Amino acid sequence: MGRILLFLLMCLAPSLFAQEIKPPEQALEGPGGQEYLHDEVTQYDFASKPNGFWLYEPASPKPEKANVIVFIHGYGAYNPMIYGKWIKHLVRKGNTVIFPRYQKNLFSPSPKQFAGNTVDGILAALDTLANGEHVAPITDHFSLVGHSYGGVISANLAVYHKGYNIPKPEAIMLVSPGTGPFKGGLLKTYEKMPEDINLLVMVSENDKTVGDKIGKLIYKTAIHVKNRNLIRQYSDSTGSKRMTSGHNESYSIDKDFDSGIRNVSAKRALRMGHLNAVDFFGYWKLFDALNAFTREGTFKEYAFGNTPEQRFLGVWSDGTKVKELEITVPEVASKPLLSSK
């Protein structure tokens, strides 16, 4: 019996005494990091209608003015809670975030109205910000970030911003852009996207919802946009908590932003939403760097160019790098990048 117990202990020893491989934590500084300028977020709800909006402003301390970011949700994902930690990150960094609502519910209105409803929300939010009671909006370097259908809407707004009478977007990040079976707001080509926009398109290896077809279409046909990169994120099973690469990796639940909506998208997000290195070193880092490069000409190595800084997704606790991002750059990207400064 003693020999059997000894044998069992020898077999179990590796699992009993192996140290858990933990995922990377958020960096202390730099794009995507914890250098926050504000401790709190002031929230306003003007989203009772399908062309309404939520508004988030930095506070503690309250600044006199702030750059404006428009965050456009995915299909059905019109509860800001779904992206809450990312929104909070952006606001505490010193930005005002407009979160337009373009749907009444999952069935209404038609996808053909999504872009128009989004524009209505943006214009109403800018009017609200300009009334003297809010943090004054800076729209010189207007930026958009959109997930899924919100990515398609963002690209549409970039092409037709003059007709929509919204500020010209100078920085755009499209996260897993796609429309599923719908076509509303989708263009056949993005050739008319202004050449001086800074554009990042990020897709995921195992996106079974929309795939990468539309992300690649936007990247390939926005031929005049000099500063554009296509970014692909991969799964990594090195650690105890596997890094997945599905359609909703950008979900980052924060119930401080909960509107109370509990549709299919919100319930799915509550089941699936998680915060990890793909957020810190992926979406958050890339979008922070994109905005910094657009506004000030800094951190371009984190935003563009297939650099080590851009590809990096952190390090597991055993010292192994998380599987890096794959970057596709246009031929013109070999020339010096031009900032919007």
**Which residues is 145 bridged to in the sheet?**
71, 173
* Cα–Cα distance for residue pair 291/297, rounded to 1 Å: 9
Query: Does residue 201 belong to any structural domain of this protein?
Result: yes
Query: Does residue 70 belong to any structural domain of this protein?
Result: yes
pLDDT of residue 17: 39
Query: Does residue 57 belong to any structural domain of this protein?
Result: yes
Query: Does residue 269 belong to any structural domain of this protein?
Result: yes
pLDDT in tens, 37-90: 999 999 999 999 999 999 999 999 999 999 999 999 999 999 999 999 999 999
Q: How many domains in the chain?
A: 1
Mean pLDDT estimate for the chain? 93
- For residue 19, give the H/E element and its range: none
Buried/exposed 13-38: b ≥16 CB within 10 Å, e otherwise: eeeeeeeeeebbebbeebbbbeeeeb
Classify residue 41 by its DSSP letter. Answer: E
pLDDT above 90 for 120: yes
Average the pLDDT over 296-318 and give the result: 98
pLDDT of residue 4: 52
* Strands 53-59 vs 40-46: parallel, antiparallel or unpaired: antiparallel
| Angle at alpha carbon of residue 68, lines to 148 and 99, rounded to 5° | 40
**What would the two tokens of residue 90 be?**
């952006």
pLDDT of residue 2: 54
pLDDT above 70 for 340: no
pLDDT in tens, 145-194: 999 999 999 999 999 999 999 999 999 999 999 999 999 999 999 999 99
Task: Report CA-CA distances (Å) from 304 to 200, 231, 287, 299, 311.
Answer: 8, 10, 11, 9, 10
State the CATH number of the domain containing residue 310.
3.40.50.1820
What are the helix (H) ranges across the chain? 2-17, 84-92, 114-129, 149-159, 161-164, 213-221, 264-272, 277, 285-296, 300-303, 308-311
Query: Does residue 152 belong to any structural domain of this protein?
Result: yes
Q: Is the pTM here over 0.85, yes or no?
A: yes
Average the pLDDT over 31-37 and give the result: 98
Q: Which pLDDT band holds residue 331 (cuts at 50, 70, 90)?
A: confident
Give the residue numbers spanning the domain of 157.
20-333
Query: Does residue 13 belong to any structural domain of this protein?
Result: no
* Cα–Cα distance for residue pair 302/216, rounded to 1 Å: 21
Contact criterion met (CB below 8 Å) for 173 and 287: yes
pLDDT of residue 241: 85
Query: Does residue 11 belong to any structural domain of this protein?
Result: no
pLDDT of residue 18: 45
Query: Does residue 7 belong to any structural domain of this protein?
Result: no
